[in-house]
Structure 1
Amino acid sequence: MELFRSILYVPGAKPRALARASQAGADALVLDLEDAVAPAAKTEARRGVAGMLQGGGFAGRRAIVRINGLDTPWGRDDLEMVRQCRPEAVLVPKVESAEALERVRTGLGDAAGAVPLWAMLETPLGVLHAEDIARHAADRGMRLSCLVLGLNDLSSATCASQLPGRVPMLPWLSGTVLVARAYGLPIVDGVFNDYGDERGLRAECEQARHLGFDGKSLIHPAQVAVANAAFAPSREEIAHARAVIRAFEAPGAESLGAIGIDGRMVERLHLSQARRVLALSAA
């Protein structure tokens, strides 16, 4: 079972950050060639990321490259680098249509089958078209393997404030989780900007987990431990999952659709949830 608890963005233009990224303990690293890199540093950042990928510099961590959009002066060169270096996946920014993913897949050429796509939903059209994007990818056999929210861009585009509790954004958060679950995709929440506010980060991670997200996008290594803990099953959840499995696997339980456990009615549909909790714990 793949883990998506902590997805750490690493600026491609910062060699020291790239060199230390694998030590942060994140489940995956996004080597960023887009928003975290100034235009004047794009070429050097691409070279640095390519060198690290080719040199095996990420110590077994999943390395995903966020390219610049193909409509920018750097996108095509980024995609060619991805085609040659073949990271774990390519994160496509500002996806607003299925056609945007098709263009990336075409640009990957012979690497299209080896490099999965992650799609960033960070514009109004991206969120509105999320279901079309996921359905198209499934129908065409496209290797779309994760959805990622970009709430900073979405906030800017909509003028919605990123308040504590994120009330203005709750419909978008829940709506994209529904799309992800409908098409069997993991989904990762957007970043928490104040990396010095551990309490705020923990609260936002817990909210995201309750909403159904698999993990959190992060901008600083100090955020990793909080996200890993927040998106991991608690001892109580693990104990309850084991109790559910024992109850439904007990002799005679095969004919039962619901069982009372600790004063609570548990249906057979909760059995798959219990197994997922244990699988996540084991991973």
Structure 2
Amino acid sequence: MTTILRSALYMPAVNQRAMDKARELPVDAVVFDLEDAVAAGKKAAAREQLLAQLAAGGYGPRQLVARCNALATPWGEADIRALAVTPVTTLCLPKVESVAQLHQVSALLEELQRPDMTLWAMIETPAGVANVEAIAGYGRLTALLMGTTDLACELRLPSDPARTGLQYALGRCVMAARQAGVTVLDGVYLDIKNEAGLRAVCEQGRALGFDGKTLIHPGQIAVTNTVFGPDAAALEHARRVLDSWEQATVAGKGVAVLDGKLIETMHVDEARRVLAAAAHIERLERG
């Protein structure tokens, strides 16, 4: 399973047409949503609809994720039990605030004989931010997702395109993800018709160190993939870095130099990551 995640699109499990369309979208991950996007009275029906959708298949190389309801709700355990026998490889857990929540879900997955199923944790509250280092380091966890809308509300932040009040939380979560070696995705952008605003917030997220972004509309995919994906210049540079490193290795040298700049192992690792991203994008585009 690839770890390249430029874009992760939330897809309401109550929306059959949207889930069908997701099979053709150039998105890295489809996050089928049983939580926020589904009213209480439609939870069971949405779950059954999602199970049928997953059984039909056809999503190609896209990572399949399900945002289930929390175990503390009336629907959480039923969600997890149902999803454990589907092609979904990852559960996205809302409002994670402690390792104890992750352990409870993990224990249920062990009972259901799904040791392979990974977890994504949404950081949406001050408590989640306060405990994010421990959450990020949990063994089954592979990604942190920012729930910036809920977090801004809980912090009582004014509307601000620059997200000034969120900078501490965003930076701390990126740091925690890097320390733990997991993916970290920025929160959603709600103004779906504002492409310039989306691009600006994507560029800000990338500058802060995020790997990609969660999305709420297919129209946001192209901009997000462009900003968080490697461009032609980055790909060419990565190839040259690896060529220079290989030549230096063959010559028995411990270092390499490219365009007058020293190349170290960290640069080689980044070059390989960039080329892996390009290979993933090619597979995705082929369907």
- TM-superposed CA distance for 1:2, in Å, is 2.8
- Counterpart of 2:121? 119
- Counterpart of 1:28? 29
> TM-score, normalised on structure 2?
0.89
CA contact (8 A) 2:248 2:255 kept: no
Distance 1:168 1:45, change over 3 A: same
CA distance in 2, matches of 1:213, 1:249: 29
Moved more, 157-166 or 27-36: 157-166
CA contact (8 A) 1:258 1:268 kept: no
- Counterpart of 1:63? 64
CA distance in 1, matches of 2:267, 2:61: 34
- Counterpart of 2:51? 50
Moved more, 22-31 or 234-243: 234-243
Specify every segment of 5 or more residues in structure 1 that has no aligned partner in the other structure, as ranges: none
Query: Given residue 85 of structure 2, which amino acid in structure 1 is its aligned partner?
Result: Q
Moved more, 45-54 or 83-92: 83-92
- TM-superposed CA distance for 1:215, in Å, is 0.9
- Counterpart of 2:100? 99
1:200 correspondence with 2:202: no
CA contact (8 A) 2:89 2:118 kept: yes
CA contact (8 A) 1:106 1:112 kept: no
Query: Given residue 123 of structure 2, which amino acid in structure 1 is its aligned partner?
Result: L
Residues 161-184 of structure 1 deviation map (CA, whole Å, 9 limit, x = unaligned):
352222221121111111111111
Give the one of 123, 132, 135 matched to 1:133: 135
Specify every segment of 5 or more residues in structure 2 that has no aligned partner in the other structure, as ranges: 281-287
Q: Work out the percentage of aligned pairs sharing the same amino acid.
A: 41
Give the one of 217, 221, 224 matched to 1:227: 224
- TM-superposed CA distance for 1:232, in Å, is 1.1
Moved more, 262-271 or 34-43: 262-271
Instruction: Describe the SS at the equivalent of 1:51.
Output: helix
1:37 correspondence with 2:34: no
Distance 1:254 1:274, change over 3 A: farther
Query: Given residue 128 of structure 2, which amino acid in structure 1 is its aligned partner?
Result: G
CA contact (8 A) 1:86 1:111 kept: no
- Counterpart of 2:215? 218
1:184 correspondence with 2:186: no
CA contact (8 A) 2:12 2:33 kept: yes
CA distance in 2, matches of 1:250, 1:61: 36
- Counterpart of 1:79? 80
Query: Given residue 2 of structure 1, which amino acid in structure 2 is its aligned partner?
Result: T
CA distance in 1, matches of 2:268, 2:60: 36
- TM-superposed CA distance for 1:59, in Å, is 4.4
Instruction: Describe the SS at the equivalent of 1:68.
Output: coil
- TM-superposed CA distance for 1:9, in Å, is 0.4
CA distance in 2, matches of 1:84, 1:222: 31
- Counterpart of 1:272? 269
- TM-superposed CA distance for 1:199, in Å, is 1.2
Residues 119-173 of structure 1 deviation map (CA, whole Å, 9 limit, x = unaligned):
11111111110111223x23xxxx2121111111101111123522222211211
- TM-superposed CA distance for 1:47, in Å, is 1.0
Give the one of 124, 130, 150 matched to 2:147: 150
- TM-superposed CA distance for 1:15, in Å, is 1.5
CA contact (8 A) 1:188 1:214 kept: yes
Instruction: Describe the SS at the equivalent of 2:92.
Output: strand
Distance 1:250 1:114, change over 3 A: closer
- TM-superposed CA distance for 1:273, in Å, is 1.6
- Counterpart of 2:284? none
CA distance in 1, matches of 2:170, 2:256: 31
Please give the root-mean-square deviation of Cα atoms over the aligned residues, in Å. Answer: 1.9
CA distance in 2, matches of 1:162, 1:24: 31
Residues 237-280 of structure 1 deviation map (CA, whole Å, 9 limit, x = unaligned):
12222232233333476545463x43555544322222222222
- TM-superposed CA distance for 1:10, in Å, is 0.5
Instruction: Describe the SS at the equivalent of 2:32.
Output: strand
> TM-score, normalised on structure 1?
0.90
Moved more, 269-278 or 97-106: 269-278
- TM-superposed CA distance for 1:43, in Å, is 1.4
Instruction: Describe the SS at the equivalent of 2:85.
Output: helix
